[in-house]
Copies of this chain bind each other. A is one copy, B any other.
């Protein structure tokens, strides 16, 4: 699916391509797809990576806790953890104080994989910003951070997107 957006009214006015919101959406989706492509050789995707990061921050959380942090339903967390477990990246251990719940822990393999995934992100960041001077990069980072903070986004929590289906 692709969408064109530009030239406002039938008359022809302001091109959407000059709007910050359009550029953010366009570049954001491309960044996500590029990241997905870069993670693929590691057997990861942005969703798996993001969840692993959150497991790593505090091991032993329940699925319910992880779901609340990510802003999704606990039902959806089941298959996400199923997926990571099947790939040998997390373990479901008995929760020490609640026999209904699991305590989710990283495996050794996940601990090896996370730095590699971060390196992929760093390389793509450098490639994305290759045409900008250092002061321009810092300015861009600053402006985007302010937009993010001002728009009520939880820092470091991505609102979520599907895995891009096709190649790229």
Query: Do the beta carbons of B9 and A115 come within 8 Å of each other?
Result: yes
Query: Do the beta carbons of A141 and B53 come within 8 Å of each other?
Result: no
Query: Do the beta carbons of B47 and A1 come within 8 Å of each other?
Result: yes
The number of times this chain is found in the oligomer is 2
Query: Do the beta carbons of A131 and B156 come within 8 Å of each other?
Result: no
A166 vs B31: C-alpha distance in the bound complex, in angstroms?
Answer: 23
User: A132-B146, A143-B140, A148-B27 are contacts. A156–B20 as well, Cβ < 8 Å?
Assistant: no
Cβ contacts under 8 Å, A143 to chain B: 132, 136, 139-140, 143
A132 vs B128: C-alpha distance in the bound complex, in angstroms?
Answer: 24
Query: Do the beta carbons of A2 and B121 come within 8 Å of each other?
Result: no
Interface residues of A in 139-162 (CB under 8 A from B): 139-141, 143-148, 150-151, 153, 155-162
Interface membership of A35, Cβ < 8 A: yes
A101 vs B30: C-alpha distance in the bound complex, in angstroms?
Answer: 33
Interface membership of A43, Cβ < 8 A: no
Cβ contacts under 8 Å, A34 to chain B: 21
Interface residues of A (CB under 8 A from B): 1-11, 13-35, 46-47, 49-51, 53-54, 56-57, 69-72, 76, 106, 110-111, 114-115, 118, 121-122, 124-125, 128-132, 136-137, 139-141, 143-148, 150-151, 153, 155-162, 168
